[in-house]
Amino acid sequence: MEKYRSLCILFIALTVQFSTFSYVSAKRTNIFTDQQALLALKAHITHDPTNFLASNWSASTSIREWSGITCGARHRRVTALDISYLNLTGTIPPQLGNLPFLSILSIRNNSFHGTLPDELAQLRRLECLDFSFNNFINLEIPSWFGSLTKLRILRLNETTFSGTIPQSLGNLSSLQELILDYNELSGSIPTSLFNISSLQKLSIHGNQLSGSFPSIIFTMSSLIFINLRHNGLSGGFSPTIFEYLPNLEVLALDDNMFAGEIPSTLSKCRHLQVLSLSNNHLTGAIPKEIGNLTQLKSLFLGLNNLQGVGKSCTTEELFTCI
């Protein structure tokens, strides 16, 4: 009898625990939770010069009517949060991670600061994340960004991020655009970035990067834009590196410390329109194969130790420079 009572008590305890878990889970996936997450964000805004949130976001109205918010037609949950260009000042609350259907998050061109809560790693449906033009001073790019595997666009330019670029960004297998311009990033460029077969645009312009240009060991047919200008990158170029970039249209590597010769295999990038290698330590002759780049519009090779060039060239001057 005592054993039977113990089993009954255990069953009741498990039932209550399961019911509580089910309630919490349900609570995490309803429209009320979405509303609470957005109101938490509003509460973390310390300056709203246009009263955008004050006049639009209210608990007395449906969030489907709030400006800057988009809800999906199927689940009627928040799928996009765009409060860009509002001159807002504030911090990101952890509750923002409680928006499970969010696919677009843009706070571009504001004055957000502070830390990025780890709870944002729960936004597993995110496809576009734009934190550019904010003030995350002395903050490193969180490694958990690499867990947002559905991301197609990641823009963190002019956010004052420091530290190194996490290797985990190479896990973003759907990434098409990575913009990290004008931060205070240092260290080398992770080779893992060149394992993303979907990558189309890579821009890390105006940082403090060092080390060599990462090796590329397989064809990246999607990559059309590389901008690594104004850094401290050094070393030479592998003779085969350009064989793996058949559709590259823009290659901007000026204002670095690259040395050695320009590989003749650059002519393999037959779609190249802009080639900027000025202000480096390049030597040797300009490969005549560059003349085979029939779509080239701008060529910048000045401030190097190359033979036969002493200025930046446009297409009209191309063959004169060669």
Residue 230 confidence (pLDDT):
98
Residue 307 confidence (pLDDT):
84
The proportion of the chain whose per-residue pLDDT surpasses 90, expressed as a percent, equals: 80
Is residue 236 within 8 A of residue 258, CB to CB? The reply is: yes
Tens digit of each residue's pLDDT (9 = 90 or more) over 110-128 = 999 999 999 999 999 999 9
Rounded Cα gap, residues 5 and 74, in angstroms: 47
Residues of the chain with pLDDT under 70: 1-29, 308-322
Residue ranges per structural domain of the chain: 1-127
CATH, domain 1-127, list 3.80.10.10, 2.40.110.10, 1.10.3470.10, 3.30.465.10: 3.80.10.10
Sheet holding 184-187, edge to edge: 139-140, 161-163, 184-187, 208-209
Rounded Cα gap, residues 228 and 235, in angstroms: 14
Residue 89 confidence (pLDDT):
98
Distant-in-sequence, close-in-space partners of 11: CB < 8 Å, separation ≥ 6: none
Tens digit of each residue's pLDDT (9 = 90 or more) over 203-247 = 999 999 999 998 888 899 999 999 999 999 999 999 899 999 999
Residue 5 confidence (pLDDT):
47
pTM of the full predicted structure?
A: 0.86
Rounded Cα gap, residues 235 and 23, in angstroms: 58
Residue 247 confidence (pLDDT):
97
Q: Which token pair is 248?
A: 């590259």
Query: Would you give the distance in Å from CA 152 to the centre of its chain?
Result: 8
